[in-house]
């Protein structure tokens, strides 16, 4: 470890050379001195969203009232196409709607119905709670078998374990692309191919990838995907999630919630349900229009910055953090609980320490916002649009001082 890297001036030089540095000013972030490393939990507020919400509330809702539905009605699919640009999906395959959990349920049921006779759902034992609970519930309701992959919680899903777990009885495999706890990045192309060889369908959760890691859904031949928008997409608390259904399957699959927004002729108000054509058939009821507009603004900002530059900065940020942590935190008994190879991780880095929960509380008291995850882990989430290298330096130094002081 060179002394230069440990010098705060180096962090300042990295900020000065950062082509995305200007994007931070496009967010509210108005608390002086605050270091926010929790954008992977709730992203910051874009100023464009603030202006858009004001306009929508005053003019579109306040003045125009129900007349606004004329242009609101297409918003979920329009915002979906923007999220599609972020995730390598051609237009017409992504919809912004509901939350991630509900979308997981809809797509998992649709996939199982498309593989009648197959009795096994595979997920990983360290997948995000909703992802596990939803398939646990579906397996219980339908009398299916749920196979849990034994995953190393720091290293993520091993494709060979997926290969060993799937067979001719497997209907669906559901995994997270970036692990919420460790940030480990799964091999989307490789695992999807393994699942297809067994004749099963693949469902990816992109909550911790979209906006931080390039995703190529069409290129990887993915069947189904879901993801939220309030993390790196900065769409705000409770903003609707998205779902992706490959054009190969879109006309074949049926989702389990038959609502009027997915009816072929919504205002016919007819006696029977007939699913709409296209991605619209995965809608349920009235969408959150304000939330969907916020997704549009967040996605536009990311697309303007460019997915290549975003990933390049994200890799630099996490690598810089790992370097500082090796010098300052590891000698104090803090282990790095994220893959060291930058190509195998997403936008956050986790640390293991017996007092992780207290470290997060004390950092927060000093204006450094991070978060805690069981067991004994704290995460530094580095959002490429808003996080500065000096933030990484200051936060790591604060963690070092705190651990040094309290052991």
Ligand X SMILES: *Cc1c(COP(=O)(O)O)cnc(C)c1O
**Catalytic machinery residues:** 128, 205, 230-231, 379
Should residue 124 be labelled a site residue for ligand X when binding is judged by CB under 6 A? no
Asked if 130 touches ligand X (CB under 6 A), the answer is: yes
Backbone angles phi, psi at 200, to 5 degrees: -95, 170
How far apart, in whole angstroms, are the C-alpha atoms of residue 23 and residue 46?
10
Q: Are 396 and 328 in contact (CB under 8 A)?
A: yes
H-assigned helices in 73-203: 75-86, 100-113, 129-142, 159-165, 188-197
Collapse the DSSP code of 78 into the 3-class scheme (helix H, G, I; strand E, B; otherwise coil) and give the result: helix
How far are the Cα atoms of 106, 229, 376, 392 from residue 232, in angstroms, in the given order? 23, 7, 24, 17
Confirm or reject binding of residue 371 to ligand X (CB under 6 A).
no
Among 10, 87, 97, 176, binds ligand X (CB under 6 A): 176
Candidate ranges 11-19, 181-189, 203-211, 355-363; the one touching ligand X (CB under 6 A): 203-211
d(CA 32, CA 205): 35
Q: By CB under 6 A, is residue 136 in contact with ligand X?
A: no
Instruction: Report if residue 396 touches ligand X, rule: CB under 6 A.
Output: no
Applying CB under 6 A, among 49, 97, 100, 255 the residue interacting with ligand X is 100
* Ramachandran angles phi, psi of 173, nearest 5°: -120, 130
Single residue of 27, 72, 105, 128 touching ligand X by CB under 6 A: 128
Residue 130 or 319 with smaller CB distance to ligand X: 130
- 210 contacts ligand X (rule: CB under 6 A): no
With CB under 6 A as the contact rule, which of the stretches 150-158, 201-209, 291-299, 351-359 interacts with ligand X?
Answer: 201-209
CA–CA gap between residue 115 and residue 384 (Å, rounded) = 40
Span from 94-102, 186-194, 304-312, 328-336 in contact with ligand X (CB under 6 A): 94-102
Q: Is 87 in the site for ligand X (CB under 6 A)?
A: no
By C-beta, is 14 or 157 nearer to ligand X?
Answer: 157
Alpha-carbon distance values, 154 to 126, 237, 336, 344, 349 (Å): 10, 27, 9, 11, 10
Q: Which is nearer to ligand X, 106 or 388 (CB)?
A: 106
What's the rounded Cα separation, in Å, for the pair 103 and 316? Answer: 33
**228 near ligand X (CB under 6 A):** yes
Chain positions contacting ligand X, by CB under 6 A: 99-101, 128, 130-131, 176, 180, 205, 207-208, 228, 241
């Amino acid at each position: 470890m060179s002394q230069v890297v440990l010098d705060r001036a180096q962090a300042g030089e990295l900020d000065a050379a950062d082509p995305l540095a200007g994007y931070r000013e496009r967010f509210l972030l108005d608390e002086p001195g605050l270091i926010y490393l929790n954008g992977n939990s709730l992203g910051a507020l874009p100023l464009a969203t603030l202006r858009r919400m004001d306009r929508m509330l005053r003019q579109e809702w306040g003045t125009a009232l129900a007349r606004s539905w004329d242009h609101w009605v297409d918003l979920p699919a329009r915002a979906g196409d923007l999220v599609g640009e972020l995730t390598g999906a051609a237009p017409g395959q992504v919809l912004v709607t509901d939350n991630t959990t509900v979308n997981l349920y809809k797509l998992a049921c649709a996939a199982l119905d498309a593989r009648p006779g197959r009795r096994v759902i595979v997920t990983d034992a360290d997948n995000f709670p909703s992802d596990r609970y939803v398939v646990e519930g579906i397996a219980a309701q339908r009398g299916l078998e749920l196979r849990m992959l034994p995953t190393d919680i720091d290293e993520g899903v091993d494709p060979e374990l997926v290969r060993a777990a799937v067979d001719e009885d497997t209907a669906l495999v559901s995994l997270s692309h970036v692990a919420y706890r460790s940030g480990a990045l799964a091999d989307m192309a490789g695992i999807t191919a393994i699942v297809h060889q067994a004749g099963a369908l693949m469902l990816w959760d992109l909550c911790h990838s979209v906006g931080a890691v390039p995703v190529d859904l069409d290129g990887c031949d993915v069947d189904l995907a879901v993801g939220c928008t309030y993390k790196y997409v900065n769409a705000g608390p409770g903003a609707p999630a998205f779902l992706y259904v490959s054009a190969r399957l879109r006309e074949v699959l049926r989702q389990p919630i038959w609502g009027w927004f997915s009816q072929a002729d919504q205002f016919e108000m007819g006696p029977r349900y007939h699913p709409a054509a296209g991605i619209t058939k995965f809608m349920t009821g009235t969408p959150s229009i304000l939330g969907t507009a916020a997704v549009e603004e967040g996605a536009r900002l990311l697309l303007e910055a460019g997915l290549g530059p975003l990933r390049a900065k994200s890799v630099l940020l996490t690598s810089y953090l790992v370097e500082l942590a090796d010098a300052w935190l590891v000698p104090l008994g803090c282990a790095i609980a994220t893959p060291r190879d930058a190509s195998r991780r997403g936008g956050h880095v986790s640390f293991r320490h017996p007092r992780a929960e207290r470290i997060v509380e004390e950092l927060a008291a000093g204006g450094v916002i991070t978060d805690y995850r069981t067991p004994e882990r704290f995460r530094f989430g580095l959002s490429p649009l808003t996080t500065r290298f000096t933030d990484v330096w200051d936060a790591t130094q604060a963690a070092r001082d705190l651990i040094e002081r309290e052991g």
